[in-house]
Homo-oligomer: A and B are copies of this chain.
Amino acid sequence: MTDKKILLQEKDIPTQWYNLMADLPTPLRPPLHPGTHQPLTPQELAPLFPEALIKQEMSADRWIDIPDEVREVYRLWRPSPLIRASRLEKALDTPAEIWFKWEGVSPAGSHKPNSAVPQAYYNAKEGVRRLTTETGAGQWGSSLAFACAQFGLKCTIYMVRVSFNQKPYRASMMRTWGAEVFASPSDKTDSGRAVLAEDPETNGSLGIAISEAVEDAVKHADAHYALGSVLNHVLIHQSVVGLEARKQLELADRRPDVLVGCVGGGSNFAGFAFPFLPEKIRGQSKVRLVAVEPSACPTLTRGRLAYDFGDTAGLTPLIRMHTLGSHFIPPGFHAGGLRYHGMAPMVSAAVEQGLCETIAVEQLETFKAGMLFTRTEGIMPAPEANHAIRGAIIEAERCKREGHREVIVMNLSGHGHMDMSAYDAYLGGKLVDVHYDEQALALSLSHLPEVK
């Protein structure tokens, strides 16, 4: 038997993060001050982030050292395994190989701690005592709660209400690690109260929850803010995923043909796929990158590439990205981690510059894919990860039609143990495809901020 899992040792945990900024053919346009529309200065970010993270956010260095204290916590679960989905291949009767990088082995159950840990570390090192954040499905909130517990920080989490109600045990997890958790919109902030006044029954959105967390951090001197995706430094931290996967594929003597990941804010996809881009940019590899998003929140496939706010209240800088408009509230589907109106600027740039393809898929087909995966490979994936599986299956079915033995590698970003109510709904025939309101999207896109 050839090995099903490619395992690395702790010495193989990367010692440096990779930063695509150094290799991107056309550089990113800078984030702008929301009032002046001038490029943002590091000082203007200081109320939110520690100096080390601001430096990373603006860095064009290809490699950034990972502090020993961060690697020491990474060791609790890293390196994560790369696994051959041989039983899924068999069920699909495809000539393609399907591999998955399995990030669900982290304490919080997803890739999110890869950035939560360094964010908590740098904040603790610079004397911050509390972090505020938002969370959608709860993967990021759990991860930051876990990371804060490791470095003795307090943690305040605003959790999007639809997910708060769907997944009560996610909040329990966060509290078990010592965090306080509020359903967002909450009555704790001006931003939250304003939204509640307008629509007391709102599902909430990541954009609103970000506004609340940012407001909380700005108004309290003991606190900083932490974001779980979108920003450059988050994508940089996530590069440990792809750097390990590269090494594992080398050990397995495989060259990937297609890399598949789900995209919400973009961090798991970028962390997994970007470390494979330098060779592609240099023309030494033809690897295809496929970003899979929910058709109910189709940022990359239906959004506009423009400067927009990262949050609903307009408290964040303006960043150039694919966006559905910062007031767009997606319908309440189960992959809460993908319910974001915007996209990481680096992912948007990769798409714009032809380095990356995009597809949108419906909720039901993703759960069907997740069920097949669960019954063949045993692992029960998060609804977000089911999008990656669906994308990989689409590629594997193409390979079958074309008779190609390609190597498909996906990032399985997290487990679905806290998402059993969604599986219940699917099994009970109660899960349906959900759609956004076309008029609301058009309205939202017509209100994008005007930037010269």
Contact = CB atoms under 8 A, between A and B. Distances in A.
A149 B293 CA distance: 29
A424 B172 contact: yes
Given A175-B424, A176-B423, A178-B375, A1 B7 contact: no
A107 B380 CA distance: 7
Interface residues of A, number: 48
Interface in A42-69: 68
A53 to B, nearest CB: 22
Most buried by B among A73, A83, A375: A375
* Copies of this chain, count: 2
A109 interface: yes
Contact of A107 (B7, B175, B379): B379
Nearest to A377: B76
Interface stretch (A122-130, A298-306, A391-399, A413-421): A413-421
A150 interface: yes
Main SS at interface, chain A: helix
A409 interface: no
A420 B10 contact: no
A71 to B, nearest CB: 8
A18 to B, nearest CB: 22
Given A172-B421, A176-B380, A418-B417, A5 B1 contact: no
Contacts of A375: 149, 177-178
A72 interface: yes
Contacts of A87: 150
Contact of A76 (B4, B68, B108, B177): B4
Contacts of A168: 420
Interface in A162-189: 168-169, 172-173, 175-178
23 contacts: A1-B10, A1-B72, A3-B9, A3-B11, A4-B10, A4-B75, A5-B10, A7-B7, A7-B9, A76-B378, A107-B377, A107-B380, A149-B374, A150-B378, A168-B420, A169-B421, A172-B421, A173-B420, A176-B371, A176-B380, A177-B374, A417-B417, A418-B420
Interface of A: 1, 3-5, 7, 9-11, 68, 71-73, 75-77, 83, 87, 105-109, 146, 149-150, 168-169, 172-173, 175-178, 371, 374-375, 377-380, 415, 417-418, 420-421, 423-424, 427
Given A5-B75, A107-B378, A173-B380, 20 more contacts: A1-B10, A1-B68, A1-B71, A3-B11, A3-B75, A4-B10, A87-B150, A106-B378, A109-B417, A146-B378, A149-B375, A150-B378, A169-B169, A169-B420, A169-B421, A169-B424, A175-B423, A176-B420, A177-B374, A418-B420
